[in-house]
Structure 1
Amino acid sequence: MVHYYSADYVMPVTSSPIKNGVIAMDENGTVLGIYDNDSVPKNVEIERFKGVLIPGFINAHCHLELSHLLGKIPQKQGLVKFITEVMSNRGADEDIVYEAMVAADKVMYANGIQAVGDHVNSTVSAKVKEASKIAYHTFVEILGLREEEAIEKIDEAREIEFSFDSEHASITLHAPYSCSKVLFKAFKKSISDDNIISIHNQESEEENKLFRYKTGEFLDFYSQIGFPADDFKAQARNSIQTYMSYLPARNRVILVHNTYTSLKDLDFIRRMGRDVFLCLCPKANLYIEDALPKVSIFEQNASNIAIGTDSLASNDTLSILDELKVLHRHFPELDFNKTLKWATINGAKALSLDEGLGSLEVGKTPGLLLLKNMNHFKITDKVEMERIA
């Protein structure tokens, strides 16, 4: 059976908005046709809505297995203290962890999220993902500061990766402050060209201090976990300008957070000529560091921007619409046509899911959402979302 949906505007994302547009979908949610008001097939029943129809959102960064930490980590303490709190609190009864993940997965789908780039440290989320309506790409994180552990850590990640969908899973380094130079080099040799990398980048100024001057809170953190940082040398430049050259040149890289990424850093990334996406997680940035990336310079100097929610350890919702509201509230000059691409097709491309998701195009199964209470394509706190398909 074919369903026809219309609204004040249909926004395919990869083409111009259509006033009073109509979209045809089959019962599986596959797009069969997109029409302006004059080209709709005759004698069909059209369900009409007031608002804007868009494809489902893509959450480019999450940690589903931390869902049980909702409300347990204090806010605005900075990244190093946040990491310490997560390490202390993440252990919990398996049933509690599982139930929290199931609930978070359902909430994300209800919030219009069609796909998720999810970071894991274990196999605990595999069953949830198998039963989910959401498409997941799973990133198995590798952490290892001790040089002698590098190969072992990669092998452990490979074992975890086997529990997830082989077409939509990859191993990835966690962050520059949690991986040794030897691990970076071993990782570079061990992965194939289609292995997508998703790495936490410049989430705190402490990361830049560590790499630039070998000072700051990370040195205290290393001392607490018993890691001697004697061999670490100051690089006199920000972290991204240090570790990017250690990553394989042919692989897509998603840089996540980028809260303290500068214009010089963006220029460095651009000059590297690599396939890089920059994922922004504004609510988590405010939760952890009480700071936001300099979005205006990102908009002007980086075309491949995506949106993520991070986890319920660092957020009180898992909603891409809420992330957009924060962005538009703090940066009112942003154009919704552009940020909608960040929240949909760009995330799908980052996760290599754009063949079927991220835009309203014939043959895709992208989900269909209705944004209500929009005036002049402006995202405000009054905007609400309803899942149509």
Structure 2
Amino acid sequence: MKSFKADYVYPVCADPIKNGIVTVDDNGTIISVTDDKTPPASNTPIEQVNGIIVPGFINTHCHTELSHMKGMIAAGGGLISFIKDILSSRSAEAADMLAAAEAADQQMYNNGIVAVGDISNTGITAPIKAKSKLYYHTFIEILGFLPESADSLFEKALETAEEFKPQPTSITAHAPYSVSKELFKLIKKHCDTGTNLLSIHNQECEDENKFYRYKLGGFIDLYKHMGVDIGYFRPQARNSLQSIIPLLTNRQKILLVHNTCTNLKDIYFIKRFDRKINWCFCPNANIYIEKRLPKIELFVNQGFNITLGTDSLASNSKLCILSEMKTLQQNFPSLSIDTLLEWGTINGARFLGIDSDKGTIEAGKTPGLNLLTGLDGVKLTPDTSVKKLV
């Protein structure tokens, strides 16, 4: 066993402990969480560290199979341009993709991430995840806006999911603008027969809402660029999120990712439906792609579970949840470190269904321990860094 004493320990499930002491065994299982007035029962030497100890981070949205694309797409070009670049540049030699994905996995581990909700379109990352020190839930993502392709695309997704077994997987839709109503219905039917978490890209740009409201904007040009005839599609006279909510299951947890252009009317709209909605923010990717951030204040105190993600190295310089928290702190100073830590730890664990083991520092759990230094009191600063302790 070993013990760490810090200026503060943030269990997340309880108030911060000043001069807190965390004792763990060789497997990283928490033995006790105390303060210096109640030292651990064992005679384990106590290592003094300066800073605050927090649980391991949960990254609920990543694309490790795009890691080879780091630096390949110019920042700030907008989502439509980003999608075109992804489609034209994502192919690479398998060895290069595997090497980049393996490096990304190690980077997340080094940055104190212990679990990942990862988007995959192929089975190429399965062997990396099988031997990783991180917990992965893989979302097999389907894209297909033509109704006639729905059945074949869904069958292909089921085949891809087989490549990841026995790892946790689920079948999910990519985004409202890229999945037909017929395909949404197949996914819903699948969700209604067993456990199948959903993770859907949502309202990353204004063009997505324009497409659904009026059948106008950049997605019309994108489909022309792809040579796809979407003549069948009729505008819905309401935002994309409001249009697809009725197509989603009420039996599974649903993660809506990015939410850059989600407004208060959208939030109130989904409250009228019996859906298990969770939100995921990836602020650094939002800035990289669209040069803007979601209206975070709209989501706070609305009763929803909020999580954090990094998106891929195609749209981010690093895979680090602390970096996402720092960006939010800088742009939304009213967010407390307590709130940001909840978003980056226990809330992600709850969504992934691993909160009995991850997300909080409690006896019997193996959440991982991170040391944060370079704070201004208990506020994150540009100099705040993370070191993995366990």
In structure 1, runs of 5+ residues without a counterpart are none
Aligned counterparts of 2:201 and 2:40: Cα–Cα separation in 1: 48
Aligned counterparts of 1:387 and 1:63: Cα–Cα separation in 2: 22
Structure 2 partner of 1:94: 94
Aligned counterparts of 2:48 and 2:300: Cα–Cα separation in 1: 34
Structure 1 partner of 2:254: 253
Q: Aligned-pair distance for 1:167?
A: 5.3
Structure 2 partner of 1:299: 300
Per the alignment, in what secondary structure is the counterpart of residue 299 of structure 1? coil
Structure 2 partner of 1:38: 37
Matches within 5 A, 1:181-330: 181-191=181-191, 192-330=193-331
Structure 2 partner of 1:14: 13
Q: For the Cα contact (< 8 Å) 2:205–2:290, is it kept in 1?
A: yes
TM-superposition CA deviations, 1:144-175 (whole Å, max 9, x none): 11212111111100111112144511110111
TM-superposition CA deviations, 1:207-257 (whole Å, max 9, x none): 000011110010111112122221211111111101011011111100000
Q: Aligned-pair distance for 1:269?
A: 2.0
TM-superposition CA deviations, 1:164-216 (whole Å, max 9, x none): 14451111011111111111112211233420000000011110000111100
TM-superposition CA deviations, 1:77-103 (whole Å, max 9, x none): 111110010010001111111110111
Aligned counterparts of 1:166 and 1:13: Cα–Cα separation in 2: 31
TM-superposition CA deviations, 1:100-128 (whole Å, max 9, x none): 01111101100001011000010100111
Q: For the Cα contact (< 8 Å) 1:266–1:302, is it kept in 2?
A: no
TM-superposition CA deviations, 1:337-385 (whole Å, max 9, x none): 0111000000111111212111111111111000012222101101111
Aligned counterparts of 1:195 and 1:16: Cα–Cα separation in 2: 34
TM-superposition CA deviations, 1:12-65 (whole Å, max 9, x none): 011111111111110010111111222223544211111100011000100000
Structure 2 partner of 1:108: 108
Q: For the Cα contact (< 8 Å) 2:115–2:134, is it kept in 1?
A: yes
Structure 2 partner of 1:169: 169
Q: For the Cα contact (< 8 Å) 1:355–1:364, is it kept in 2?
A: yes
Matches within 5 A, 1:334-345: 334-345=335-346
Aligned counterparts of 2:137 and 2:40: Cα–Cα separation in 1: 37
Aligned counterparts of 1:120 and 1:207: Cα–Cα separation in 2: 22
Structure 1 partner of 2:377: 376
Structure 1 partner of 2:180: 180
The one-letter code sitting in structure 1 at the alignment partner of 2:5 is: S
Q: For the Cα contact (< 8 Å) 1:58–1:358, is it kept in 2?
A: yes
Q: TM-score normalised to the size of structure 1? A: 0.97
Q: For the Cα contact (< 8 Å) 2:73–2:314, is it kept in 1?
A: yes
Q: For the Cα contact (< 8 Å) 1:55–1:367, is it kept in 2?
A: yes
Q: TM-score normalised to the size of structure 2? A: 0.97
Per the alignment, in what secondary structure is the counterpart of residue 195 of structure 2? coil
Structure 2 partner of 1:117: 117
**Percent identical residues:** 47
The one-letter code sitting in structure 2 at the alignment partner of 1:164 is: F
Aligned counterparts of 2:48 and 2:254: Cα–Cα separation in 1: 41
Aligned counterparts of 1:196 and 1:60: Cα–Cα separation in 2: 12
The one-letter code sitting in structure 1 at the alignment partner of 2:15 is: S
Per the alignment, in what secondary structure is the counterpart of residue 301 of structure 1? coil
In structure 2, runs of 5+ residues without a counterpart are none
The one-letter code sitting in structure 1 at the alignment partner of 2:267 is: L
Aligned counterparts of 1:384 and 1:206: Cα–Cα separation in 2: 36
Structure 2 partner of 1:62: 62
